[in-house]
Amino acid sequence: TYYVKVSDLCTSASDTIVVTLNNNPPQLSLPNQLTLCQGQSLTLDAVVGGVTYLWNDNSQASTLTVSSPGTYSLTISNSCGTDKDTVTVLDGGPAPLVTLGNDVSLCAGDVITLTPALSDVTSWLWNDGSTSPTYTVSGAELVTVEVSNSCGTSYDTLNAILLPATPPIDLGNDTLLCPGSSLQLNINTP
């Protein structure tokens, strides 16, 4: 604390100033590693104020947007010193994809097991709450599936249609025909 007093024969004036010594260099702490999903980007942020920034690509903003895996480093500086840290951005892979295919038609009593075309799926959720990679259809329903992984979620639907029952057909009793004779057959089922 510094104090000064100035006086003359008529008056006096004084003032005080506090000077603090800050000899601490800046502290930087980036995450050790992050995961970046394919087709996405993420923003690296040092969250440190009152410093200058220098990223490994020579940019000087407080944040850096990255769209590919790799190792990224940042050096921060102020009048008391510098600090440097590095973050490794890992490839998280693509988002999942699922395709159930075309709608299906079933006859009464039929059972169809759906095995979807997929890629990069780690979890399943079907419209009935089941979580296996296949689904059994035995009647008319709208089938929905939600698949996911750490990079996102994908959905698909399929309509299962129950065909009408085939009516019984009766052509009558077996008949013996003589050569040159004919027999007209009729089906009287609508």
Quick one: pLDDT at residue 80?
87
Quick one: pLDDT at residue 184?
87
The CA–CA distances, whole Å, from 126 to 34, 100, 140, 149, 156 equal 31, 11, 15, 15, 10
What CA–CA distance (Å, rounded) separates 91 from 58?
23
The CA–CA distances, whole Å, from 91 to 65, 74, 96, 175 equal 15, 20, 14, 76
Quick one: pLDDT at residue 93?
92
Task: Please identify every stretch of the chain with a pLDDT value under 50, giving residue numbers as ranges.
Answer: none
Of 160, 146, 154, 165, which Cα lies nearest the Cα of 114? 160
* 86-151-136 Cα angle (round to 5): 155
What CA–CA distance (Å, rounded) separates 104 from 140?
9
Quick one: pLDDT at residue 189?
67
The CA–CA distances, whole Å, from 68 to 38, 39, 62 equal 8, 9, 19
Please tell me the total number of residues recorded for the chain in this structure.
190
Quick one: pLDDT at residue 101?
94
Quick one: pLDDT at residue 136?
96
Beta carbons within 8 Å of 25's beta carbon, 6+ residues apart? 78, 80, 81, 82, 83
